[in-house]
Chain A
Amino acid sequence: MMMLLENFLMSLQAIRANKMRSLLTMLGVIIGISSVITIVSIGDSMRNFMTDQYKDVGVNRAMVYTRPADGFYMENDYFTVEDLDKVLEAMAGDLVYADLNGWSNGTIKRKTLDISVEMQEVAKHFENIMNVTIIEGRMINDADINGRRPHIVLPEKTALEIFGTAKCIGKVIEMEVEGERQELTVVGVYRKEMSAASLMLLGNPTAYVPYSYIRNVDNYITWALNVYFADDVDKEAGHRRLTNVVARMKNRQPEEIAMHTVAEEMQQVDMVLGSLSLAVGAIAAISLLVGGIGIMNIMLVSVTERTREIGIRKALGAQPWDIKFQFLTESAIISAAGGIIGTAIGLATVLILGKVVDIAVVVNPGTVLLAVAFSAAVGIGFGFYPASKAANADPIEALRYE
Chain B
Amino acid sequence: MSKAVIRLTDVCKTYDTGAIQVQALKHVDLVINEGEFVAIMGQSGSGKSTLMNILGCLDRPTSGKFYLGEDDVSVMEPKELATVRNKKIGFIFQSFNLIPRTTALKNVELPMVYARQSKTERRRRAEELLARVGLADRGDHLPNELSGGQKQRVAIARALVNQPQMLLADEPTGNLDTASSLEIMELFCALNSEGVTVVVVTHEEEIASYCGRVVRFKDGQLISDLLQEPARPAAGLAGVKGGSDL
* CB interface residues, B 98-114, toward A, < 8 Å: 98-102, 110-111, 113-114
The answer on a CB contact under 8 Å between B114 and A317 is yes
Answer yes or no: A58 CB below 8 A from chain B CBs: no
Is A316 an interface position by the 8 A CB rule? yes
Residues of B within 8 A of A308 (CB): 97
Contacting residues, chain B, for A309 (C-beta < 8 A): 99-100
Asked if A396 meets B53 with Cβ closer than 8 Å, knowing A309-B100, A315-B85, A319-B79, the reply is yes
Are A316 and B158 in touch, CB under 8 angstroms? yes
On whether the beta carbons of A320 and B82 are closer than 8 Å, the reply is: yes
Residue in B58, B93, B101, B118 whose beta carbon sits within 8 Å of that of A2 in the complex = B118
Complex Cα distance, B35 from A251, in Å, reads: 116
A317–B113 CA distance with the chains assembled, in angstroms: 10
Neighbouring B residues of A2 by C-beta, 8 Å: 116, 118-119
- Does A318 count as interface, using CB distance less than 8 angstroms? yes
Residue B195 lies at the interface, judged by CB distance under 8 Å to chain A: no
Q: Determine the interface band of chain A, counting residues with CB < 8 A from chain B.
A: 20 to 34
User: Does B101 contact A13, Cβ atoms closer than 8 Å?
Assistant: yes
Q: Which residues of B contact A143 (CB under 8 A)?
A: none
From B58, B91, B114, B119, contact of A396 by CB (8 A): B58
Q: List, in ascending order, chain A residues with CB within 8 A of B85's CB.
A: 314-317
Q: From DSSP, what is the main secondary structure of chain A's interface residues?
A: helix
For window 316-347 of A, CB contacts with B under 8 Å fall at 316-320, 322
- A residues within 8 A CB of B93? 399
CA distance A316 to B115 in the complex (A): 10
A317 B58 Cβ-Cβ under 8 A: no
| Bound CA span A6–B112, Å | 11
Q: Are A317 and B82 closer than 8 Å at their CB atoms?
A: yes
Is there a chain B Cβ closer than 8 Å to A81's Cβ? no
- Partner pick for A315 among B58, B83, B87, CB 8 A cutoff: B58
Determine if B100 and A316 form an interchain contact, defined as CB atoms under 8 angstroms apart: no
Residue of B nearest to A318 (CB): B114
Q: How far is the CA of A320 from the CA of B162 in the complex (A)?
A: 19
Q: Once bound together, how far apart are the Cα atoms of A316 and B93, in whole Å? A: 12
Complex: how many Å from CA A399 to CA B56? 13
> How far does the alpha carbon of A322 sit from the alpha carbon of B85 in the complex, in Å?
14
Q: Which of A3, A316, A395, A396 contacts B110 (CB 8 A)?
A: A316
Q: Which residue of B53, B113, B119 has the most chain A CB atoms within 10 A of its CB atom?
A: B113
Is A138 an interface residue, CB under 8 A from the partner?
no
Task: Rank and list the top 4 A-B pairs by shortest CB-CB distance, nearest first.
Answer: A317-B86, A317-B85, A317-B114, A312-B97
26 contacts between A and B (CB under 8 A): A2-B116, A2-B118, A3-B116, A17-B101, A311-B97, A313-B99, A313-B110, A313-B114, A314-B82, A314-B85, A315-B56, A316-B85, A317-B82, A317-B83, A317-B85, A317-B86, A317-B111, A317-B114, A317-B115, A317-B162, A319-B83, A320-B82, A396-B53, A396-B59, A399-B58, A399-B93
